[in-house]
Amino acid sequence: MNKVAFYTLGCKVNQFETQAMVDLFKKKGYEVVDSDEKADVYIINTCTVTNMSDRKSRQFIRRAKRLNKDSIVGVVGCYPQVAPEKVLEIEDVDLIIGTQDKSRIVELCEEAKEKNERINTVEDIMQIKEYEELSIEDVKGKTRAFIKIQEGCNQYCSYCIIPYARGPIRSRKLENVIKEVKKLADKGFKEIVLTGIHVASYGKDIGNVSLIDVIEKIHEIEGIERIRLSSLEPTIVTEEFMKRIVKLPKLCNHFHLSLQSGSNSVLKRMNRKYTTEQYKDIVNLIRKYMPDVGITTDIIVGFPGETDKEFQETYDFVKEIGFSRIHVFKYSPRKGTPAAKFKGQISGEVKSERSKRLIELGRRLTKEFNERFVGRITDVLFEEQVNSKEGTIGGYTTNYINVIAKGDVKLEGKILPVKIEKVQKGSLLGKIQK
């Protein structure tokens, strides 16, 4: 039996696509082994969001050949899509696939081996108009499953390479999404996470269907008890959107609304399509319909030209909104994006200081949000054993708070009521109610 190993960098979409490729290899009789083991085929599913991602991809490509000099090394994803010439410079690479053709991964690897020649399928992603169907049948775990429903992005934020790597928006057929969710429900999965490159744009390319339609259809599927959304563009949230989703109790009261900056002048330079005033109105609208909602976000510090005043605007805005959790990123110039050529690049020292301040604020906000639930009973979907010696198990509330309670692996995949007793760091400790 031939052996295949995978190394995945980057986002949840990449993780989904790797699992789909794993399925394809298994169907052809391959044994999947760890990435540090000797294998006949190595697949590196790359990320290109930062220059560091590119570097990590190149490092593993070279490492794979050292593990087995006779192996086939395939490099797929965003990095070869935007810089195929850089990947071609690496002698160890046998197969180069961009963000299209992953469904052909096995046959292309076998063709490269049989012909003993390098294969490069990278094409102009901007010309691709159809969603490439990839699905997962052999999903790991038994609690939460990711479903990719959309590909591509038309936003063109000035700092982001992804539209150039993933191409224009393409939506997955609704019937294929539903078919896959039903399979996952039959396997006992309780929670579905809808993911994609720009989930909010679902349906805009095919018409007569939108993200809310997908949610409503999944809501009807027996066995699925939770529907969660990955990162959303804030502007998708309208009064009509909220009126429809509030009727869907399976939809988790957690929104990851990408902010990036709390300064209007910085948002404009980033080419974001909203102001802080609009963002605040959207958050207030969500909270009107979902009082206990968890709102998480991403912030970039040190964007070119960001003054002390602009950073302070971001700091104050984050504090005012009161996020349940924030993810802070230091701006990294990405070649090929407009922002990489902007004047006023910020020093690493300033970025680090600003990042440190925001991370500390984020911890305080998380603690304040979590403390609201002490003494209350909340449902938790238990996912994995935290500490077998102490007999503790962990899971998540609908609004995405990590909860730890006494329990063993038998509780994995079950949704149980937990009385919250106290806050511990970024988690809640509680007792399962009989």
| 111-135: pLDDT as tens digits | 999 999 999 999 999 999 999 998 8
Distance of CA 253 to the CA centre of its chain: 18
pLDDT score of 269: 98
Cβ contact 144:189 at 8 Å: yes
More confidently predicted of 434 and 119? 119
In this predicted structure, the answer to whether residue 322 has a pLDDT above a threshold of 90 is yes
Q: What is the pLDDT of residue 50?
A: 79
Asked if 96 contacts 88 with a C-beta cutoff of 8 angstroms, the reply is yes
- Note the pLDDT tens digit of each residue in 173-205: 999 999 999 999 998 899 999 999 999 999 999
Six-digit token pair at 101?
A: 């053709």
**Interatomic CA distance for residues 47 and 80, integer angstroms:** 9
61 pLDDT tier (thresholds 50, 70, 90)? confident
CA-wise closest residue to 54 among 250, 335, 418, 351: 335
* Alpha carbons 207 and 43: distance in angstroms, whole number: 35
Residue 169, pLDDT score:
97
For residues 13-28, b (16+ Cβ closer than 10 Å) or e, as one string? bbbbbbbbbbbbbeee
pLDDT category at 340 given cuts 50, 70, 90 is very high
Q: Which of 331, 240, 260, 252 is nearest to 50 (CA)?
A: 331
Cα angle vertex 255, ends 252, 258, to 5°?
A: 160
Instruction: Taking residues 228-257, report their average pLDDT.
Output: 96
pLDDT of residue 142: 67
pLDDT band for position 406 (50/70/90)?
very high
- Residue 119: phi and psi, rounded to 5, are -120, 135
Q: So what's the pLDDT on residue 268?
A: 98
Q: 42, 105 in Cβ contact below 8 A?
A: no
The mean pLDDT value for 350-374 works out to 97
What are the structural domains, with CATH classification, of the chain? 3-123 (3.40.50.12160), 144-371 (3.80.30.20), 377-432 (2.40.50)
- 8 A C-beta contact, residue 150 and residue 172: yes
Cα(364)–Cα(212) distance, integer angstroms = 33
Over residues 264-309, the pLDDT tens digits come to 999 999 999 999 999 999 999 999 999 999 999 999 999 999 999 9
Query: What's the pLDDT at 141?
Result: 66
pLDDT tier for residue 143 given thresholds of 50, 70 and 90: confident
Angle at the Cα of 361 (from 357 to 362), degrees rounded to 5?
115
Q: Please give the share of the chain, as a percent, with pLDDT higher than 90.
A: 84
Mean pLDDT of 139-152: 86
Q: What is the pLDDT of residue 180?
A: 94
Q: What is the pLDDT of residues 16-52, one digit of tens each?
A: 999 999 999 999 999 999 999 999 999 999 998 877 8
Write down the pLDDT at residue 392. 95
Q: Supply the pLDDT for residue 272.
A: 97
- pLDDT of amino acid 62: 85
How large is the average pLDDT for residues 5-25? Answer: 93
CA pair distance 75, 95, nearest whole angstrom: 6
Q: Quote the CA–CA distance of 357 and 316 in Å, as a whole number.
A: 11
- Give the tokens for residue 93: 């690479």
Residues facing residue 31 across a β-bridge: 3
Residue 207, Ramachandran bin (φ over 0: left; ψ between -120 and 50: alpha; else beta): left
Rounded distance, CA 216 to CA 228, Å?
12
- pLDDT, one tens digit per residue, over 203-212 is 999 988 999 9
SS3 296: strand
CA separation for the pair 61, 78 (Å, rounded): 15
pLDDT score recorded for residue 144:
87
| pLDDT for the residue numbered 319 | 98
Tokens for 89, please give them: 């410079």
Across the chain, mean pLDDT equals 94
Q: pLDDT tens digits, residue range 158-176?
A: 999 999 999 999 999 999 9
